Structures are given as C-alpha cells and as structure tokens.
C-alpha cells in the first residue's frame, strides 16, 4: 500500500518532517510518500494562502493518482483543501486536524486545541464544527508564533506551548491536548512528559487512519458532494487537470 502525505506549503523542511513522522508509524507493507506543491506559499496562515495551497494539493493528488497511490494525508492544521483532494482522489483522504479530533474523542471526554498563529484559530474552529466536536473540544487556543518559526527551532515555542496547554487543562478542564501545527511534531514526546495528559499530533494519526481505511477497502463516496469533478474546459492554472475515469 502507498500512502502519500501532502504538505500544502512549499517549505521542504516540513515535508521531510511529515515524511519521517509517517514512516515512523507505518505498518509493514505500507510505503509512505510525501510531496509538496512546486509553487505556492511557504506556509498556510490565511484564507488566500489556503486557496493557493489547494491548487497545489490537487496537483499533488493527481500526481499520486498516476503513481497508484492508495490514500492521502493532508498535513496542514485546518485540513486545507481536503474536499478538493477527496474529489480528485480515488482512495481515501484524511486531514491531520480531523484525525487528531477523532483520536482525542476516543481517549478523552473533553479536550482543547493549541494552535498557531492566532489568526488560524478560524481554520481549527471550522474543522471542529465540521467534525461535530464543538461540545467536546472546549476551546481553540493559540500562541503568538508564526508557522515558519517552527521550521528550525521548534524548541523556541516550547515554553509558550506549555503555558497555553496548562491553561487549557486548568481553565477548560481539557483532559487531552491537540497540537495544532504539523511543524510541532518534535514537541510531542517532551510535552506528554511535561503535561501528564495525552498530546495528539495529527499527521501521524492521519497516516494510521488512512492506512486503516485503505486496508478496509473504504474510500470517498462518489455518488454526491465529493464525486470526481465534472469534465469541463478549464483555463489557467487548472487547464491541465484531468480527473477520475476521464483522467486516469
């Protein structure tokens, strides 16, 4: 089985980090691939960047389809472009945010998210509502750090994260913490030790979930809102797109 992790931004360090994460948890027989858009944005922190990144995600999926990839992971908190990816792919697509939320719901009655930077809380809240967990995810918190600051020196954000997570435990009653950025994975182990509660990193959860769906023969339903895109004459960035039975 081949699983492809799609990093929606153009920063290779994050792609490598996600690839390593995926390989560390994959089952025997699962090959983990990772990709990033050739062009786009170095990080996804606003809605305009989400739109830019989504086109790159679709291209990454189409490339994966040509290679026979069985399932995909969207490695961006907020699950940027996930429904477009689902339309483009034959196999299942899982977002790191929804995966983290469902994992949290299976191990804790209530929990909180700590994400970054502040303006991206709207992305996390969008996924929480779509996943239906707004009663159990008590709060979406954020620290004042930009995504790219996580690239080389994630330790630099460690103290801010610990402070916010402790506030979540104390004030929100959170019994688990979701790490709200794909770039923060190196913090998982020390955070679990320090906080004494489960700390959930979404990319690795999503890898296991999509691996499970592929094993079970489950893929996106193609009878309705996530069917392959209809065939039309597109121009501009999408001019070469070819989907589904038409495109393969």
Using alpha carbons only, give the angle 47, 53, 55 rounded to the nearest 5 degrees: 115
Q: Residue 58 in contact with residue 84, Cβ under 8 Å?
A: yes
* Closest to its own copies by CB, 28 or 153: 28
Compute the distance between CA of residue 200 and CA of residue 80 in angstroms, rounded to an integer: 19
Give yes or no for residue 220 binding its own copies (CB under 8 A): yes
DSSP 223: S
Tell the smallest beta-carbon distance from residue 16 to its own copies (Å): 19
Residues 65-94 that bind its own copies (CB under 8 A): 81, 83-84, 86-88, 92-94
Distance, CA of 61 to CA of 233 (rounded, Å): 20
- Measured from the CB atom, is 75 or 200 closer to its own copies? 200
Distance of CA 164 to CAs 22, 180, 200, 213, Å? Answer: 27, 12, 15, 34
**Nearest approach, Cβ of 216 to its own copies (angstroms)?**
6
**Binding track, positions 125-144, relative to its own copies; x by CB under 8 A:** x---x-xxxxxx--------
> Would you say 102 or 158 has its CB closer to its own copies?
102
Q: Which of residues 158-217 bind its own copies (CB under 8 A)?
A: 169, 173, 175-176, 192, 196-198, 200-201, 204-205, 208-209, 211-213, 215-217
Answer for which of 66, 163, 237, 248 binds its own copies (CB under 8 A) is 237
In whole angstroms, how close is the CB of 73 to its own copies at the nearest point? 11
Shorter beta-carbon distance to its own copies: residue 20 or 226: 226
Q: Within the chain, where are the H helices?
A: 12-25, 47-67, 82-88, 96-107, 121-131, 158-167, 188-195, 202-215, 244-247
* Residue ranges in 24-63 that form contacts with its own copies under rule CB under 8 A: 25, 27-29, 37-43, 45-52, 54-56, 58
- Binding of its own copies at residue 232 (CB under 8 A)? yes
Closest approach of its own copies to the CB of residue 35, in Å: 15
Instruction: Confirm or reject binding of residue 240 to its own copies (CB under 8 A).
Output: no
Contact 7, 18 (CB under 8 A): yes
């Amino acid at each position: 089985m081949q699983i492809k992790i799609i990093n929606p931004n153009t920063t290779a360090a994050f792609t490598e980090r996600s690839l390593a994460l995926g390989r560390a948890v994959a089952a025997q027989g699962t090959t983990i691939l990772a990709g990033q858009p050739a062009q786009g944005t170095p990080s996804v922190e606003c809605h305009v960047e989400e739109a830019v990144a989504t086109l790159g995600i679709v291209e990454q999926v189409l490339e994966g389809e040509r290679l026979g990839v069985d399932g995909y992971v969207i490695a961006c908190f907020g699950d940027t472009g996930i429904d477009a990816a689902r339309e483009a792919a034959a196999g299942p697509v899982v977002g790191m945010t929804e995966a983290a939320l469902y994992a949290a719901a299976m191990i804790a009655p209530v929990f909180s998210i700590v994400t970054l930077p502040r303006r991206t809380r709207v992305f996390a809240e969008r996924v929480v509502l779509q996943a239906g967990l707004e009663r159990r995810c008590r709060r979406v918190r954020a620290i004042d750090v930009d995504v790219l600051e996580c690239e080389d020196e994630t330790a630099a954000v460690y103290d801010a994260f610990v402070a916010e997570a402790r506030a979540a435990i104390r004030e929100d009653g959170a019994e688990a913490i979701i790490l709200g950025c794909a770039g923060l994975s190196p913090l998982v182990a020390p955070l679990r030790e320090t906080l004494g509660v489960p700390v959930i990193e979404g990319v690795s959860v999503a890898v296991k979930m999509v691996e499970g769906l592929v094993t079970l023969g489950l893929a996106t339903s193609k009878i309705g809102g996530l069917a392959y895109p209809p065939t039309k004459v597109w121009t501009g960035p999408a001019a070469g797109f070819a989907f589904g039975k038409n495109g393969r």
